[in-house]
Structure formats: structure tokens, C-alpha cells
Amino acid sequence: MYKNFDEVVEFATNFRHNLHKNPELTWEETDTAKAIREILDKHNITYKTYAGTGTVGLLAQDKQGPHIALRGDIDALPLEEKTDVSYKSVKTQCMHACGHDGHTATLMAAAIWLKQNEDKLTNPISLIFQPAEEGGHGAKKMIEEGCLDGVDMIFGWHNWPAIKFGQAVCPEGTVMAGNGTFHITLKGLGGHSSQPEICKDPVLAASALTMALQQIASRQVAPQDAVVVSVTSIDAISGVTVIPDNAKVEGSIRVPTNELKTKVFNQIEEISKGIALAYNVEVDIDLRDRYQPTINHKDEASRVREVLKDTLGENWQSNIATPIMASEDFSYYLNKIPGAFALVGSDDGVEKHQKACHNVHYDFNDKLIKPVSISLMKLANFKF
């Protein structure tokens, strides 16, 4: 039994540091899931398991009010950490560079305090510790196995270094973009660099394709539509005097609607075929859908804004433009039931809290644990 909530926050902060020191990649979160379940057991919180490493804590299941779910993600990224924190990752090429350790700890703080005050709860609550957010479609798998059965609404959040600490955003409508990837192989005919006339140069074609794809956002869609097309890799490794047979161009797109995703994918395909024809090479095009846009429901987003104002103060609202062009598999939940997703600022002036997510120098801001966990509890109808 904790004397006050600050003691819970201290426990959750230490828990976060332990998770940060021992990160696990998408669909490999075995020890993370074990640690979560051990704490839930210790605090007599009933839970169910989903998708292998997913865990859903259950509170006040006998209450008759609306069943509310709160979600935190648990997986790390394949990055080599370069911070100097005492709890730096002990694993090679594995790092909590997106703050999922902090999201998990924040949800755990809420879980512990809600359990300690379970007699005051007026409605059922599900606490979703979700694996595989980083491209693994963990939310989809959790839903398929029934984690939302009986749930009426869901709330989630993400720390955001580009927003000042003490501020947040939760717009009605699209808060984060949908995404997809493209993988284009240009098949030419290699040969000696001194005889380009008898070769079919895939490197030249890849260069032209890279430039042409950038024109989709600037010339093929309206300026009002937030679209990003990024070529992130050109693979045509060869000798300095050798034109290779093949070149591969890869990258990602970010779009605010599914309609625009279809349009951009079609344009990528048309441009790739046109470039291949113009440069006398063959082309294989692989377009992969990833996450849908994260679209907040009107009433639930309004509710989140009220809670954030109550918790963070009158000046809580950030003026950052939305939608944010990053993507989230929380979209699966919002496609299934009503809910909302907020971005909460972590920039308190400390350099590591200003580093963008997915950066090797990034570190989650522990100051977020208390206000966000309080906000989550209020969203679950607990009067903190």
C-alpha cells in the first residue's frame, strides 16, 4: 500500500529505467512482458494475455459504467544507444528510442493507483500493455485476439519532443498520418564503365526516379494536403569501374487519408514504369501498406482536451501543426471503437528531451509520468 501517489511515481520511474536498460525489439518483448505481469501480480491486478507478449490488466469488471481502455506500448527499436544515462541499454543495437518504456511506466503508475482505489471506480477499466507498435501491427493482433471485446472507448498518448513540456495536442480528426513503403528494383544490364552505350544503366535510372518521386508531393497533390514522399535508400553497390545490373530504390510515404495513400501509391507505380521505359530498364514495384491514419473521434478528443487542460493548466494547448506526419498503430483501435490519441510535450530545455524520437541520443522525460498518469486516470473516470 502506497501512502501517496508520489511514491507510485517514484516506483514507476525506477521501473522505466529498468525497462530502458533492458529493451526488447518488436515481438521479442518476453522479459518486458514478464516484468509487467510480475508487477500486476504483486498488486493483485487481474490480467489476460494476448498476442504472446501483450498483457491487459483488468479493474472494476463488475461495475456497470462505460468500459474504458488505456493503452501503452512496450517495444524498443534496433538502434545503438549513445546517451550517457546511468540506465543506458545493455543490449547491442536495441534501444528505447521512442519512449515506449515511459509509456509503459506511466500506464503502470495509473494501474497501481487505480487498483489501490478500486472501490472508488465507477466503471470497468482495461490497461493495455501492447507489443509490436514499431511496424509490427501489434494493435491489430491484440484486437484480433479479443482485447477490445466489451470495451466502449479507448485512450492513448505519445510523448513528443517537438512540443514544450506542459503542453499537448489532441485534435478532432487526424492526429497522425498513415504510412506505407515502396521497394522498387530497376533491372538493367551491367558492364564496364567505359562502355555505357552497351549497358542499360540502373544507377542512372535510380537517380532519375529519386528526383521524379519528389515531385509527387510538390506537383501531384494539392498544397493543402499534407503528403510526404521520402526516398531513404538507393542500393546499387558496385565497383568504381563497373555499372551494376540492378539498383534498388526504397522509401516511405506519409498521408493524412487512405484516399491519398491510394493516389500516391498509384503515382509511384506510374512514375516508376515511366522512368523504366525512358531509361530502357525493367522494373519491379513492391508497394506495402503499413498503418492507417490515426483519426480521433470528436467527443473523445474533446474529453481528452478537457482533461489535459485540467491537469496541465490553461496554457496546455500547443500550436504545433497537425496531423503529425509520423504514424501509429493506435489507428487500429480507433478504427474499431471510439477514442482519442494525444501528443504530450517532453521538451523541458534538457537536450536529451529535445532529441527527436528514433534518435540514438533520445531519452524519455521522466517528468511526464506523473501528469500523464493522472490524466489517464481522469480519462478512466477516476476523480484524482
Domain range list for the chain = 5-177+293-379, 178-289
Let me know if 349 is exposed, middle or buried by CB neighbors in 10 A (0-12, 13-18, 19+).
Answer: exposed
Please provide the average confidence, as pLDDT, over all residues in the chain.
Answer: 97
Q: Residues 324-335: what's their mean pLDDT?
A: 96
In angstroms, the CA 187 to CA 250 distance is 14
What confidence tier does 222 reach under pLDDT thresholds 50, 70, 90? confident
pTM, to two decimals: 0.93
What pLDDT does residue 224 have? 84
In angstroms, the CA 275 to CA 4 distance is 65
Say what percent of the chain tops pLDDT 70: 100
> Which residue ranges are tagged as binding site?
98, 100, 134, 158, 358
**Contact (Cβ atoms closer than 8 angstroms) between residue 163 and residue 321:** no
> Which residue ranges are tagged as binding site for Mn(2+)?
98, 100, 134, 158, 358
Q: How many CA atoms lie within 13 A of 114 on its CB side?
A: 34
What pLDDT does residue 223 have? 86
pLDDT digits over 152-194, tens only? 999 999 999 999 999 999 999 999 999 999 999 999 999 999 9
Q: Residues 219-224: what's their mean pLDDT?
A: 87
In angstroms, the CA 87 to CA 16 distance is 9
Domain boundaries 178-289, CATH class: alpha beta
What confidence tier does 137 reach under pLDDT thresholds 50, 70, 90? very high
What pLDDT does residue 179 have? 96
Q: Residues 107-121: what's their mean pLDDT?
A: 98
What pLDDT does residue 62 have? 96
25 has which bridge partners? Answer: 76
**With left for phi above 0 and alpha for psi between -120 and 50, is residue 163 left, alpha or beta?**
beta
Domain boundaries 5-177+293-379, CATH class: alpha beta
